[in-house]
Amino acid sequence: MLDLSAQPAARRAPKDRHRVVTEARKLSAINRATVDLCIWRRSVSPELSAWLDVMASEHQLEADVRGVRGAAFDFEPLVKALPAGAPRDAWVADLSEVLARYVQVVGDEPLRVQLSSIDGRKCPRFHVDNVGVRLLCTYAGAGTEWIAESSVDREHLRTCDAMHAPTRAGGSVEHLERFDVALMKGSAFPGNGRFGTVHRSPAVQGAPRLVFTVDTLRVPGR
C-alpha cells in the first residue's frame, strides 16, 4: 500500500487576483484586497477604431502631464496635432469617460496623464510597477501582456530576462485586448507589497501602439 504520509505535499497554486467585467461601475472591484487587476472589457465603434489605426501610423503623440485633476482635465491640447472632426471629438469623449471612471475609483487625487505613441518594446521584462493603481488602455496596436496569479512564479520574477516569462509549469501569458480599460495595482499600494500585477509591454509590429496611462501622484491611503 502506498504510504501517502511519506509523500511531499503538493504545492497548491495561489488563487487568481484578477477580474474581468463588462460594466464600468464594476471597476471598483480593484479596491478589494484580493484583486490586483480589474479589466473592463469593451469595444468602440468600427469608425473610431479605423481612424485610430490611421492616426497611430501617421502621427506621433507624446503627452505627459503631471499634477492635474481628473474631473477638469482637458484632452484637446494633447490631440491638437490630429485632424479636427467627428472622430477626434469621439476619441476625446472616450478618453474623458475613461479618466472619469478612474477618478471614481481612486478619488480626486493629483494625476499623471500620459498619451503616447510607442514604437518599441518599452518594458521588455515582466515586472510589477512601483505605483498604487495604474490605468492602462491601448487604443491602437497590441495590448499589454500579463500573467495571472495562478500562473506566475514570483520567485523567478526578479531574475527572469526579456526572453523568458516567469510562469509556473503549465502557466501561460495573457494579454489585454485593444480598448480594454485595465486598473492594475502595483507594489506601492498599501499592504500589497507581495503582490501587484505582473506584466510587460508587447512587441510592436507595424505601426506604433497608442497607449493611454494614468497614475496617481499620491498613493491613496498614504
Whether 5 is covered by a domain: the verdict is no
What CA–CA distance (Å, rounded) separates 64 from 59? 16
Query: Binning pLDDT at 50, 70 and 90, where does residue 219 land?
Result: low
| Rounded-to-integer distance, Cα 169 and Cα 152, Å | 9
User: In the prediction, which pLDDT does 11 show?
Assistant: 57
Tell me what pLDDT residue 222 has: 56
pLDDT of residue 54: 97
- The model carries a pTM of 0.90
The reply to whether 1 falls in a domain is: no
CATH number, domain with residue 43: 2.60.120
In a domain, 125, yes or no: yes
Average pLDDT of the chain to the nearest whole number: 89
Q: How many domains does the chain have?
A: 1
pLDDT higher than threshold 50 for residue 8: no
Distances (CA, A) of 147 to 152, 167, 215: 6, 8, 21
pLDDT value for 7: 40
- Within 13 Å of residue 212, how many CA atoms lie on the same side as its CB? 24
| 3 band by pLDDT with thresholds 50, 70 and 90 | very low
Closest to 207 measured CA to CA, from 50, 46, 64, 9: 50
Residue 93, SS3 per DSSP: helix
> How is residue 22 written as a grid cell?
463588462
Least confident of 35-44, 122-131, 132-141, 177-186: 122-131
- 132 in a domain, yes or no? yes
Integer Rg of the chain from CA: 19
* Whether pLDDT at 12 is above 70: no
- The neighbouring-strand residues paired with 215 are 112
Tell me the C-alpha distance between 193 and 211, whole Å: 26
Domain-located, residue 4: no
Q: Tell me whether residue 157 is exposed, middle or buried, using C-beta atoms within 10 angstroms of its C-beta: 0 to 12, 13 to 18, 19 or more.
A: middle
Let me know if residue 54 belongs to a domain. Answer: yes
Where would I find the H helices in the chain? Answer: 46-58, 76-79, 86-106
Looking at residues 169-187, what average pLDDT do you find?
95
The answer to the question of residue 10 being in a domain is no
Residue type, 158: R
Query: Domain of 39?
Result: 16-216
Residue 1 is predicted with a pLDDT of 41
Q: What is the pLDDT of residues 85-110, one digit of tens each?
A: 999 999 999 999 999 999 999 998 89
In this predicted model, what pLDDT tens digit does every residue of 58-89 receive, in sequence order? 999 999 999 988 878 999 999 999 999 999 99
Answer whether residue 9 is part of any domain.
no
The mean per-residue pLDDT over the stretch 119-136 comes to: 89
Summarised one tens digit per residue, pLDDT across range 133-172 is: 999 999 999 999 999 999 999 988 888 888 888 888 888 9
Percentage with pLDDT > 70 across the chain: 92
Instruction: Categorize the per-residue pLDDT at 207 as very low, low, confident or very high, splitting at 50, 70 and 90.
Output: confident
Considering only residues 31 and 218, tell me which one the structure prediction assigns the higher pLDDT.
31
Q: Pseudo-torsion of CA 191, 173, 39, 37, nearest 10°?
A: 0
